[in-house]
């Protein structure tokens, strides 16, 4: 099923926030982790990471890698953690409500 | 397209942004491509999934300009930055002639009208103070006549300053709103791509 793109990007952003909240990630690691469950392309993740960094949710640092050139890691800022907590709470409420309606509630 | 062609084209298309910004973008793209290849994807496949370098560059440029204008605290520079961001949005998506340029022109027109009124009031008050001094020196009128001109000057000057402050605040607010609309518009375009 093809999901509405606007909707899809919101979901992916939520996944990125939820993952980086737990530990530092580099870009492709996020692509691989998320694409195990949701179909995404590399081109989707990078603009999201860029924007979240610009908006001070993330800060970045370079770390040497055994395979090649240094990688850029994303670490969540305190401000990012606070905002993410709020967003995840809203998201849980939203999915619960949708689920309730799907089950035939009114 | 091969990785190096993609990177070179992107670099060319990004010209106009600060070098540090270009280097950072290129660094990210190179890291992603080499990680994807290491994960077993072919070079062609991964480069194709990134889309056209031209489109990517246009979107990155628009984003950079909008963010820079939004962070600018000096109002005249912010206004200038907003015009730059507007240009970038029009290049990125021609349908923005309707969705962005239209409302932008309407709002700018209203602001210009407000500033024209402020300027006219200021000029009038300056003319009145001129008249006041001229009459004081050259005309032997009663003191009441002199002072009626002086009070008119004070009144209109005050009005001009009031207008000026109000217009400054309104202009600042409008540009803030305009730039957040630009940002929304850009994210909307990106989501469609």
Q: Is A47 on the interface with B (CB under 8 A)?
A: yes
Residue A1 has pLDDT above 50, yes or no: no
Q: How sure is the predictor about A6, in pLDDT bands with cuts at 50, 70 and 90?
A: low
Residue from A8, A40, A43 whose CB has the most chain B CBs within 10 Å, to mutate: A43
Instruction: Answer whether B49 sits within 8 Å of A43, measured CB to CB.
Output: yes
Nearest-10 crossing angle of helices A5-22, A42-54:
60
- Which residues on B lie below 8 Å from A47 (Cβ)? 59, 190
Instruction: Answer whether B50 sits within 8 Å of A43, measured CB to CB.
Output: yes
Q: What values do phi and psi take at A74, rounded to 5? A: -110, 125
Q: Give the end-to-end CA distance of chain A in Å, rounded to a whole number.
A: 27
Contact by Cβ (8 Å): B87, B61: no
The whole-number average pLDDT for the span A47-65 is 91
Instruction: Answer whether B34 sits within 8 Å of A68, measured CB to CB.
Output: yes
The whole-number average pLDDT for the span A35-41 is 85
Residue B138: its H or E element: helix B102-138
Instruction: Provide the percentage of residues in chain B whose pLDDT is more than 90.
Output: 62
**Partner-chain residue, chosen from B31, B46, B49, that has the shortest CB–CB distance to A69:** B31
Instruction: Answer whether B32 sits within 8 Å of A51, measured CB to CB.
Output: no
Which residues contact residue B41 at a Cβ distance below 8 angstroms, ignoring those fewer than 6 apart?
Answer: none
Q: Is A66 on the interface with B (CB under 8 A)?
A: no
Residue A101 has pLDDT above 50, yes or no: yes
- Which residues on A lie below 8 Å from B67 (Cβ)? 54
- Which residues on B lie below 8 Å from A73 (Cβ)? none
What would the DSSP string read from start to end of A60-90?
EEEE--SSSS-EEEEEE-HHHHHHHHHHHHH
B118-141 pLDDT per residue, tens = 999 999 999 998 888 888 777 766
Instruction: Answer whether A28 sits within 8 Å of B30, measured CB to CB.
Output: no
Q: ipTM score of the complex?
A: 0.79
- Which residues on B lie below 8 Å from A5 (Cβ)? 191-192
Neighbours of B79 (CB within 10 A): 18
Specify the 3-state DSSP secondary structure of B15.
strand
Specify the 3-state DSSP secondary structure of A25.
strand
Residue A59: its H or E element: strand A58-63
Distance CA A18, CA A86 (A): 12
Which residues contact residue A84 at a Cβ distance below 8 angstroms, ignoring those fewer than 6 apart?
Answer: A17, A18, A21, A57, A76
Dihedral-angle region of residue A50 (phi above 0 means left; psi in -120 to 50 means alpha; beta otherwise)? alpha
* CA B68 centroid distance within chain: 9
In this predicted structure, what is the pLDDT of residue B24?
93
In this predicted structure, what is the pLDDT of residue B86?
94
In this predicted structure, what is the pLDDT of residue A5?
61
Residue from B30, B32, B57 whose CB has the most chain A CBs within 10 Å, to mutate: B32
Instruction: Answer whether B30 sits within 8 Å of A42, measured CB to CB.
Output: no
């Amino acid at each position: 099923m093809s999901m509405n793109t606007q909707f899809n990007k919101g979901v992916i952003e939520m996944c990125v926030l939820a993952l980086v909240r737990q530990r530092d990630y580099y870009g492709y690691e996020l692509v691989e982790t998320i694409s195990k469950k949701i179909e995404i392309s590399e081109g989707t993740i990078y603009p999201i990471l860029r924007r979240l960094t610009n908006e001070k949710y993330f800060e970045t640092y370079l770390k040497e890698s055994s395979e090649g050139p240094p990688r850029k890691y994303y670490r969540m800022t305190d401000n990012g953690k606070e905002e993410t907590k709020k967003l995840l709470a809203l998201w849980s409420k939203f999915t619960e409500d949708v689920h309730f309606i799907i089950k035939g509630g009114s | 397209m091969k990785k190096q062609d993609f990177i070179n084209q992107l670099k060319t298309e990004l010209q106009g942004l600060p070098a540090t910004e270009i280097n950072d973008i290129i660094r990210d793209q190179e890291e992603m491509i080499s990680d994807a290849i290491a994960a077993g994807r072919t070079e062609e496949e991964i480069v194709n999934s990134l889309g056209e370098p031209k489109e990517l560059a246009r979107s990155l440029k628009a984003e950079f300009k909008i963010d820079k204008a939004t962070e600018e605290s000096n109002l005249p520079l912010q206004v200038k930055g907003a015009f730059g961001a507007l240009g970038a949005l029009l290049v990125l998506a021609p349908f923005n002639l309707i969705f962005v340029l239209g409302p932008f022109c309407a709002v700018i027109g209203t602001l210009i009208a407000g500033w024209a009124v402020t300027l006219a009031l200021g000029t009038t008050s300056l003319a009145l103070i001129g008249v006041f001094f001229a009459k004081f020196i050259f005309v032997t009128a009663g003191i009441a006549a002199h002072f009626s001109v002086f009070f008119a000057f004070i009144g209109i000057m005050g009005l001009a300053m009031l207008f000026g402050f109000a217009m400054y605040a309104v202009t600042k607010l409008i540009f803030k709103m305009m730039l957040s609309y630009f940002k929304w518009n850009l994210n909307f375009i990106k989501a469609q791509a």
